[in-house]
Amino acid sequence: MPLHSRQSRATVVHPVRIRHHRGRAVRASVSIMAACLSLALVHIAEAAPKYLRLSYVGDTTTAMSITWNTDADAPTEVRYGTASGALGSTASGTSFQANAGLGWVHEVTLSGLQPNTKYYYVAGSATDGYFAENSFTTGPVQQETCGKFRFVFLGDNRPDPTFGGGENWPQILGQAALHQPAFVLNGGDLVIDGDQIDQWHDFLGWTTTVAATVPFMPSMGNHDNGPGEGDGANYNQLFALPRSTGVHGSGTEDYYYFTYGNAIFAALSTEGFKGGSIAFGDQASWLDEVLTNNPRKWKFVFYHKPTYSHEALFSISHAPNEEGQNAAFVAVIDKHHVDAVFTSHNHWYERFHPTACATQGNAGSAEACPVGADNFAAGTVYYVSGGAGAFTIPGMLCGSEPGRAKCAGNHHYIVVDIQDNIAKLDTWSAYPQANEIIDSITITKSPETCTEPPDAGPPDAAPDSAPPPDAAPLDGGSPPDSAAAPDSSTPAPDAAAGSDAAGVDGAAPGPDASEPQAPSASPAASSNGGCGCSVPNAQPPAAAWLALLGLSVAWSRRRGRRSAS
């Protein structure tokens, strides 16, 4: 019932009692006061901010976008400053009433910030309350060739309707945040059904502790869309992302790009906007324009459905090139020599040797076209990373796939360190498996003469490649305190390289098999990820796998917007 209706009924019922019964009048007044206080508390609870999250919409060097939700309309305000507790600047933003059940979405973009600077902030309003103080760090001054930073990629964090697993996501995200990335990329399938509002509430609740301090940049998965495309979809309403502009832009956030340091990142959509002279031709033309107009030493592209992958027994994993996107996407990827492409969708880990199908005259190939196991100068490394929480496919089903270097059934995430002309990509096994490196490559380009820009701000201390051994345990699915406020600091070079992952192809080991074993995360690491927590969703026994394989036969028929995995 609306607030004004409840107040009106109170004033109609109680005046008679006040006039004739002094004792009752006191009790009535107390009742009225209690009712008003209760209604006020209800209003405050409805307008109280929740689900705080950061993202990039503008220049990553001087801007940060802050988004949150309330159940009722409320003012939109952020107070911020460069010292904790001294938040002398204030910025207002915009809000809109989102799809039913999502409440109001509030967005504030802070601009004119200093590069490579830590800011403290609170979001909300003076009338309806603020979040507790959080912090973020702006990006470095951007240069085309030089830059030092770290980011994380992971995807398919959604729970599974059969085996659960929702609590895996905050555990895995918390482990990834301990590496102190500048930002997090996600390959999609954030929820099971993008139409279902309660699932978005669960996802946001699980994610907010990390996303309040580390910008979160997703791409749309086949489970995330709905209702409809573009601004009407729940996904688009909940995230503040750049819009694709230009001749071939859609004007939506379904595909977008941003630049950071000496790198460019482009998120594409395999779930919509498939038009053009060939399938996805318009998106490919947009990508071509973006990469042409924004030259960077490092180029990364990410989207949901894999370019190359192994379709496992009973179609428990999806086929490569599922939407026919390769012909359009790979042609542009090869033209600009994108360094790595990150995809998700299949719930395991795959890495392919450098490949260049368009260069070899077959951009639409569903099989990789390897150019040499370590010939990074001539090809692109393609990843399938679907291990951020959803039930994973066991490594024993990896089978064999042309051009593939690694395959594993672990939950995992990928940490990428950029050191000017060197990129190190470490894949970490994650909760509920041991938190340790299972695969690693290093890409080295021609060296540059690099100096710190004069206005880049003081450099932060360089974190280790591994999470700290004394990291706080994850309790009840919540990331530890150290994950809640990571710094976007400069990574330290790490010469360690990973060994072959469990479930590797049956072929002979690649050239990197002779590299030294990667160290484990810490002496405290254990079978539950070294987090000191229970493992409610460890991999099931063989009988459960048989059940899963049986179900997969039916699931494999569910193609389209919400396929099985």
Per-residue pLDDT of the chain (565 residues; tens, 9 = 90+): 333 333 332 333 333 333 334 444 444 444 444 444 443 444 445 568 999 999 999 999 999 999 999 999 999 999 999 999 999 999 999 999 999 999 999 999 999 999 999 999 999 998 889 999 999 999 999 999 999 999 999 999 998 766 655 679 999 999 999 999 999 999 999 999 999 999 999 999 999 999 999 999 999 999 999 887 789 999 999 999 999 999 999 999 999 999 999 999 999 999 999 999 999 999 999 999 999 999 999 999 999 999 999 987 666 788 899 999 999 999 999 999 999 999 999 999 999 999 999 999 999 999 999 999 999 999 999 999 999 999 899 999 999 999 999 999 999 999 999 999 999 999 999 999 999 999 999 999 999 899 876 554 444 434 444 443 333 333 333 333 333 333 433 343 333 333 333 333 433 333 333 333 333 333 233 332 323 233 333 333 333 443 344 334 334 333 344 444 4
What pLDDT, on the 0 to 100 scale, is given for residue 128? Answer: 86
pTM: 0.78
Rounded to an integer, what distance in angstroms lies between the CA atom of residue 413 and that of residue 443?
Answer: 18
Rounded to an integer, what distance in angstroms lies between the CA atom of residue 484 and that of residue 212?
Answer: 8
For 93, the token pair is 């933003």
Phi, psi of 418 (to 5 degrees): -105, 125
Q: So what CATH class is 53-137?
A: mainly beta
Q: At 277, is the secondary structure helix, strand, or coil?
A: coil
Look-up: residue for tokens 């990571």?
A: 486
Peptide bond into 519 cis (omega under 30): no
Phi, psi of 75 (to 5 degrees): -60, 160
Rounded to an integer, what distance in angstroms lies between the CA atom of residue 79 and that of residue 126?
Answer: 10
Longest dimension (CA), the chain: 96
Q: What's the DSSP call for residue 462?
A: P
CA 418 to chain centre: 19
Helices (H) and strands (E) in the chain, counts: 10, 22
Rounded to an integer, what distance in angstroms lies between the CA atom of residue 235 and that of residue 230?
Answer: 9
Phi, psi of 255 (to 5 degrees): -140, 145
What pLDDT, on the 0 to 100 scale, is given for residue 311? Answer: 87
Sorted by where each begins, the domain ranges of the chain are: 3-47, 53-137, 151-537
Rounded to an integer, what distance in angstroms lies between the CA atom of residue 342 and that of residue 361?
Answer: 22
CB 62 within 8 A of CB 138: yes
Question: What is the number of alpha carbons within 13 Å of residue 206 lying toward its C-beta?
Answer: 24
CB 303 within 8 A of CB 187: yes
Rounded to an integer, what distance in angstroms lies between the CA atom of residue 278 and that of residue 86?
Answer: 55
Rounded to an integer, what distance in angstroms lies between the CA atom of residue 418 and that of residue 149?
Answer: 5
Look-up: residue for tokens 């207002």?
A: 92
CB 501 within 8 A of CB 349: yes
What pLDDT, on the 0 to 100 scale, is given for residue 453? Answer: 67
Q: What's the DSSP call for residue 542?
A: H
Rounded to an integer, what distance in angstroms lies between the CA atom of residue 382 and that of residue 345?
Answer: 13
Crossing angle of the two packed helices 3-13 and 22-47, in degrees rounded to 10: 180
Q: At 553, is the secondary structure helix, strand, or coil?
A: helix
What pLDDT, on the 0 to 100 scale, is given for residue 452? Answer: 74
CATH, domain 151-537, list 3.40.640.10, 3.60.150.10, 3.60.21.10, 3.40.50.920? 3.60.21.10
540 exposed, middle or buried (CB, 10 Å; 0-12, 13-18, 19+)?
middle
Look-up: residue for tokens 């030493």?
A: 297
Backbone Cα Rg of the chain: 25
Can 53-137 and 151-537 be said to share one CATH topology? no
